[in-house]
């Protein structure tokens, strides 16, 4: 194939060209036309809707990482295939991105030429009156004693008052209004791109992370301090706003009666925080009311209990002491599960796992309610190798007991660390002791920075305004002609054209004619069926 | 009045509204029979009387329907907007259908739509009571936000109007294929359907792309997170956007566009019912603790 060709000469003369063969330029132009056609845009819209469906059916890493792992474990054959197809990250997958990027290109291809056309239309005068106004689907005619000039003057004034753009020429007045419709249309489509840009900025340069902080503890905003941390593709860990915060207290109001008995309300976390300059402030953090530190938002999204435990090892030294967050298993009663790892215990490492019951009421597996009225820990104790030193990262909420031995009472009877606050128990075999000092609340904070959020929001608002313009503004053209007839009367013809998909033209036209007539009138004839069917023949434009 | 009394009142009002809707439907049938029975003159005058009576009954039913909603709100402790679960959502969306039908009755010449809208509302209301009824419960903390009110009322209004628009699209498809010749011309139906959709689309846009994200940002720390409900709200938006485009595209106008609108309605209701039943609703699991 040669790359240089002569100008296309039509299919008949192109003796060297096969039918349907195109030059590169033609091919590009053809591709561009196809891509920016409304049909393609429609198909892309449907594809976008279809492509989003797997994102709601298959668990998504960005929504629920744990569910994805669970799903992969349950579907060992499909799991790897889906992973390769990007089914667990649908909304950042190449195929989903391809669809919306093509749509964006199609959008640009639609906006640019239309802006040019609109710019010209804006500066052009309303088109002059057609020769025979009564032939238009919506028209009216009447005769009057007044002079044509008087009628036309009045028509001009009336139309100006209704904010038509008016041009008078000879025996007729031409008027047009509703230019904002196309402006709204363009604004909407540009706004969609703005929203996309805002969203993209947020997911590329933003980050979010979660952390559990017990009452009295502190947190510094660096990735290592997070329990989970999801940066955007271009986020630099070193660029996190360097603030620090401390949970001073956590207040909660438990309901003892009423339909929500046992549930809680009014969660308030009292925070002290230091911004990047070290300026200290205190604030109350509540559900639905995030705290903004610089451009970073801090949200209160969960709470629970952290029993304060002290573990002494076989040598009698304090090997562990402090609050340990337990994770609520039931939001209803806050029965919580937790793990205590004591790597510093000598000679053998100690591990504890089991439940915390805020209100122990005889049932060792379930708390009676969420408030800590009668706290109890009930745990199993292990000694041996925690497996931490192997370098493989471990969850702090699970205990690897493969190299550990479950402690039992002498004689093999079951041993449990069942303690109320202030109580202590010796571990069997002289392995040390555990003391339950007390209970502290913890809160789970979600910390997120999403640059571009305001851009996305303004884009969405722009889109809405544009949409209202493009759907509700009614572009109209109206013409009035007044001619003196042979018998000395003035014959007035009025016609209108509705250029939208709506049609309340007939009523408006009748009202306009009535206003135009003023006092002196003889017979009127109107054209155009009444009601909704009025503008059946009116062309629709987009 | 005590909360218990309000609750009873609400339940009774729902039943009463159902009965009055049924009476309205009977009056519409009588109108239809009268118009069919008589050729000219007397019969059509009687049909006219029945039509007026049916409209009056629809208005009364709508009023009782509204009372059921208000009472439901007062039955909660603390008092709240009655949009906390699927039962309440459907109760409100059906009310929106009635309201729009009544408000635009004259302006858009919706007389033909009366029996269909009333029938739809009655059936949905019945299903709502049978399948979706939930005892009154207070909202969880994350749900008690002014943005809930704004986001949900917009979503409900859009749902109601989209539903009515879908109904007209079905009528259009039937009329267009030569059935139901007593209805207005196909292009009139097409235009009314378009107007309803054009009315609902910006409201839906506001609900799911502005108010929803603002609330999600405050309550869940992200304004858009592809939660199943959000995915389907997005799908609905895209399909209705496609409808608006289809209506202005040669080869898609008319039939195809109407079908796109119905696909949109399908995604809308699937999002509302299906997601909650099949996918647990994600974060949008309403008032469940």
A289-345 pLDDT, tens digit each:
889 888 899 998 889 999 999 999 988 899 999 999 999 887 778 899 999 999 888
CA proximity to A274, closest of A229, A244, A301: A244
Q: Given this model, what pLDDT does residue B98 score?
A: 96
Least confident span in A357-361, A508-512, B209-213: A508-512
Q: How far apart are CA B87 and CA B132, in angstroms?
A: 5
CB A435 within 8 A of CB A310: yes
**Confidence band of A15 (pLDDT split at 50, 70, 90):** low
Domain boundary among B138, B169, B184: B138
Joined tokens for residue A82: 């889906």
**B161 and B172, same domain (yes or no):** yes
For range A363-374, the mean pLDDT: 87
What is the structure's pLDDT at A380?
A: 93
Integer Cα distance of A337 and A357 in angstroms: 9
Burial of A230 (0-12, 13-18, 19+ CB in 10 A): middle
Comparing alpha-carbon positions, the chain A residue that sits nearest to B203 is A464
| Optimal mutation site among B198, B233, B274, interface A, most CBs of chain A within 10 A | B198
- Tell me how far the alpha carbon of residue A523 is from its chain's centroid: 60
Instruction: Tell me which chain A residue has its CA closest to the CA of residue B241.
Output: A45
- Which one has a higher pLDDT value, B78 or A493? A493
Helix, strand, or coil here: B116? helix
Residue B280 region by backbone torsions, left for phi larger than 0, else alpha for psi between -120 and 50, else beta: left
Do B162 and B62 sit in the same domain of this protein? no
> Closest approach of chain A CAs to the CA of B68, in angstroms?
21
pLDDT digits (tens, 9 = 90+) for B30-80: 988 888 766 555 667 888 889 999 999 999 999 999 999 999 988 887 778
What distance in Å separates residue B106's CA from the closest CA in chain A?
10
Distance between first and last Cα of chain B: 27
Residue B208 sits in the same domain as residue B253: yes
Say if residue A541's pLDDT is above 60. no
Asked if B150 and B265 sit in the same domain, the reply is: yes
Lowest mean pLDDT among A21-25, B105-109, B214-218: A21-25
Range of weakest confidence among A79-88, A116-125, A511-520:
A511-520
The ipTM, to two decimals, is: 0.88
Asked if A326 and A336 count as a contact pair (C-beta separation under 8 A), the reply is yes
Distances (CA, A) of B252 to A128, A277, A539, B244: 32, 61, 15, 10
> Taking CB atoms and an 8 Å limit, are A42 and B242 in contact across chains?
yes
User: Which pLDDT score is estimated for A535?
Assistant: 35
CB-based contact, A48 to chain B, within 8 Å: yes
Give the Cα separation of A201 and A105 in Å (integer): 18
Residue B287 has pLDDT above 50, yes or no: no
* Of A160, A179, A40, A73, nearest in space to A122 by CA: A179
Domain boundary among B138, B164, B195: B138
The answer to whether residues B199 and A540 touch, using CB atoms and an 8 Å cutoff, is no
Rounded to an integer, the average pLDDT of A85-112 is 91
Exposed, middle or buried by CB within 10 Å (0-12, 13-18, 19+), for A526? Answer: middle
Q: pTM score, two decimals?
A: 0.83
Give me the pLDDT at residue B286, please.
Answer: 43
First-residue to last-residue Cα distance in chain A: 42
Share of chain B above pLDDT 70, in %: 92
Q: How far apart are CA A412 and CA B57, in angstroms?
A: 80
| Pair B160, B260 in one domain | yes
User: Which residues fall within 8 angstroms of residue A44, CB to CB, at 6 or more apart?
Assistant: A99, A102, A103, A106
Same domain, B1 and B27: yes
HSE-up (13 A, CA, CB side) for residue B15? 5
For an interface test with A, give the residue of B206, B227, B238 to mutate (most A CBs within 10 A).
B238
- Same domain, yes or no: B79 and B24: yes
Please tell me whether the peptide bond between A347 and the residue prior to it is cis, using omega within 30 degrees of 0.
yes
DSSP β-bridge partners for residue A176:
A165, A477
Q: Hey, are the CB atoms on A63 and B267 less than 8 Å from each other?
A: no
In chain B, what residues touch A297 (CB-CB under 8 Å)?
217, 221
| Same domain flag for B41 and B160 | no
Choose, out of A36, A49, A507, the residue to mutate when testing the contact with B (most B CBs < 10 Å): A49
DSSP state of A7: P
The domain containing residue B128 runs over which residues? 1-138
Higher pLDDT, A393 or A519: A393
Give the DSSP letter string of A310-346.
EEE-TTS-EEEEEE-PPEES-TTT--EEEEEEETT-S
Domain count, chain B: 2
B168/B87 same-domain check: no
Looking at CATH, the fold of the domain delimited by A127-178+474-541 is given as TATA-Binding Protein (3.30.310)
DSSP structure string for B177-220? TT--TTSPPHHHHHHHHHHHHHHHHHHHHHIIIIIHHHHHHHHH
Tell me what the mean pLDDT of segment B119-137 comes to. 90
Structure tokens given for B120: 């739809």
User: What residues in A contact B224, CB-CB < 8 Å?
Assistant: 199
Residues A181 and A287: their CA atoms lie apart, in Å, by 42
DSSP percent split of chain A into helix, strand, coil, nearest 5: 30, 30, 35
CB B246 within 8 A of CB B256: yes
- The minimum CA-CA distance between A280 and chain B, rounded to whole Å, is 24
Residues carrying CATH 3.30.310.80, chain A: 127-178+474-541
CA separation for the pair A143, A443 (Å, rounded): 82
Parallel/antiparallel/unpaired status of strands A424-426 and A433-449: antiparallel
pLDDT computed for residue B280 by the predictor: 55
- Asked if B228 lies within 8 A of A56 by C-beta distance, the reply is yes
Quick check: bond before B78 cis, omega within 30? yes
pLDDT of A525 above 80: no
Q: Could you tell me the pLDDT band of residue A501, with boundaries at 50, 70 and 90?
A: low
Q: Which of B87, B122, B138 is the last residue of a domain?
A: B138
Nearest Cα to A125, choosing from A531, A477, A396, A447?
A: A477
Condensed to tens digits (0 to 9), the pLDDT of residues A225-274 reads: 898 888 888 888 778 888 999 999 999 888 887 666 777 778 899 999 99
The yes-or-no verdict on residue A12 having pLDDT over 60 is: no
Instruction: List the single residue in B109, B209, B275 with the smallest CB-CB distance to A532.
Output: B109
Average pLDDT of every residue of chain A? 84
Per-residue pLDDT at B185 exceeds 80: yes
Q: Do B239 and A45 touch (CB under 8 A)?
A: yes
pLDDT in tens, A198-210: 999 988 899 988 9
Q: Tell whether B55 and B5 lie within a shared domain.
A: yes
For residues B189 and A7, the model is more confident at: B189
Closest CB to B221 among A208, A461, A468: A208
Contact assessment for residue B97 and residue B164, using Cβ atoms and an 8 Å cutoff: yes
Span B120-134, average pLDDT:
91
More confident residue, A519 or A189: A189
Task: Please give the C-alpha separations between residue B29 and each of A97, A282, B61, in angstroms, as whole numbers.
Answer: 53, 68, 17
């Amino acid at each position: 194939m040669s790359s240089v060709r002569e100008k296309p000469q039509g299919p008949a003369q192109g003796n060297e060209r096969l039918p349907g063969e195109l030059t590169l330029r033609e091919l590009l132009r053809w591709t561009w036309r196809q891509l920016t056609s409304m049909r393609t845009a429609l198909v892309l819209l449907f594809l976008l809707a279809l492509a989003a469906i797997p994102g709601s059916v298959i668990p998504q890493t960005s929504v629920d990482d744990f569910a994805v792992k669970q799903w992969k474990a349950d579907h060992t054959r499909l799991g790897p295939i889906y992973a390769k197809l990007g089914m667990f990250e649908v909304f950042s997958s190449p195929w989903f991105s391809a669809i919306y990027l093509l749509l964006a290109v199609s959008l640009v291809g639609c906006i640019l030429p239309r802006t040019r056309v609109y710019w010209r239309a804006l500066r052009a005068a309303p088109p002059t009156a057609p020769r025979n106004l009564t032939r238009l689907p919506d028209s009216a005619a009447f005769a009057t004693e007044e002079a044509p000039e008087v009628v036309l003057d009045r028509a001009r004034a009336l139309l100006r008052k209704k904010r038509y753009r008016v041009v008078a020429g000879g025996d007729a007045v031409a008027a047009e209004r509703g230019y904002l419709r196309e402006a709204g249309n363009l604004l909407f489509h540009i706004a969609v791109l703005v929203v996309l840009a805002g969203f993209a900025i947020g997911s590329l340069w933003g980050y979010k992370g979660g952390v559990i902080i017990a009452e009295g503890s502190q947190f510094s905003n660096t990735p290592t301090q997070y329990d989970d941390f999801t940066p955007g593709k271009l986020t630099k860990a070193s660029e996190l706003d360097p603030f620090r915060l401390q949970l001073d207290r956590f207040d909660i109001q438990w309901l003892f009666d009423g339909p929500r008995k046992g549930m809680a309300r009014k969660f308030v976390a009292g925070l002290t925080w230091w911004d990047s300059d070290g300026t200290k402030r205190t604030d109350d953090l509540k559900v639905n009311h995030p705290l903004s530190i610089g451009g970073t938002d801090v949200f209160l999204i969960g709470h629970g209990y952290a029993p304060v435990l002290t573990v002494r090892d076989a040598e009698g030294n304090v090997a562990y002491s402090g609050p340990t967050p337990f994770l609520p298993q039931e939001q209803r009663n806050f029965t919580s599960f937790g793990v205590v790892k004591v790597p510093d215990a000598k000679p053998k490492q100690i591990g504890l796992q089991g439940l915390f019951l805020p209100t122990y009421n005889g049932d060792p597996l379930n708390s009676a309610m969420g408030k800590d009225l009668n706290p109890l820990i009930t745990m199993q104790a292990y000694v041996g190798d925690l497996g931490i030193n192997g370098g493989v990262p471990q969850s702090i909420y699970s205990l690897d007991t493969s190299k550990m031995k479950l402690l039992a009472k002498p004689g093999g009877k079951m041993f449990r660390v069942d303690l109320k606050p202030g109580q202590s128990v010796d571990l069997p075999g002289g392995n040390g002791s555990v003391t339950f000092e007390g209970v502290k609340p913890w809160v789970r904070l979600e910390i997120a920075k999403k640059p571009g959020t305001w851009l996305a929001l303004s884009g969405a608002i722009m889109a809405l305004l544009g949409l209202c313009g493009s759907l509700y503004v009614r572009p109209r053209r109206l013409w009035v002609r007044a001619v003196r007839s042979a018998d000395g009367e003035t014959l007035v013809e009025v016609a209108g054209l509705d250029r939208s998909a709506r049609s309340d033209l007939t009523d408006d036209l009748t009202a306009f004619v009535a206003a135009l007539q003023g006092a002196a009138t003889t017979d009127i004839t109107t054209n155009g069926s009444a009601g909704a069917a009025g503008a059946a023949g009116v062309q629709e434009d987009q | 009045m005590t909360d218990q009394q309000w609750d009873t009142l609400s339940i009774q009002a729902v039943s009463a509204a159902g009965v009055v809707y049924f009476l309205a439907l009977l009056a519409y049938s009588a109108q239809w029979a009268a118009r069919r029975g008589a050729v000219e003159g007397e019969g059509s005058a009687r049909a006219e009387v029945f039509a007026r009576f049916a409209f009056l009954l629809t208005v009364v039913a709508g009023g009782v329907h509204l009372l059921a909603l208000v009472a439901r709100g007062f039955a909660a402790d603390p008092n709240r907007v009655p949009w906390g679960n699927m039962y309440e959502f459907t109760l409100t969306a059906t009310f929106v259908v009635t309201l729009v039908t009544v408000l635009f009755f004259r302006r858009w010449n919706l007389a033909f739509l009366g029996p269909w809208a009333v029938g739809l509302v009655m059936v949905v209301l019945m299903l709502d009571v049978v399948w979706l009824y939930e005892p009154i419960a207070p909202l969880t903390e994350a749900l008690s936000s002014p943005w809930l009110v704004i986001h949900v009322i917009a979503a409900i209004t859009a749902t109601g109007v989209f539903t009515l628009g879908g109904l007209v699209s079905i009528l259009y498809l039937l009329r267009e294929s030569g059935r139901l010749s007593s209805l207005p011309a196909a292009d009139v139906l097409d235009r009314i359907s378009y107007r309803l959709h054009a009315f609902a689309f910006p409201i839906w846009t506001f609900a799911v792309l502005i108010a929803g994200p603002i609330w999600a940002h405050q309550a869940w720390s992200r304004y858009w997170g592809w939660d199943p409900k959000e995915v389907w709200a997005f799908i609905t938006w895209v399909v209705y956007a496609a409808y608006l485009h289809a209506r202005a595209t040669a080869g898609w106008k008319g039939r195809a566009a109407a079908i796109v609108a119905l696909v949109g309605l399908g995604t809308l209701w699937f999002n509302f019912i299906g997601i909650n039943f099949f996918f647990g609703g994600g974060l949008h699991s309403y008032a469940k603790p």
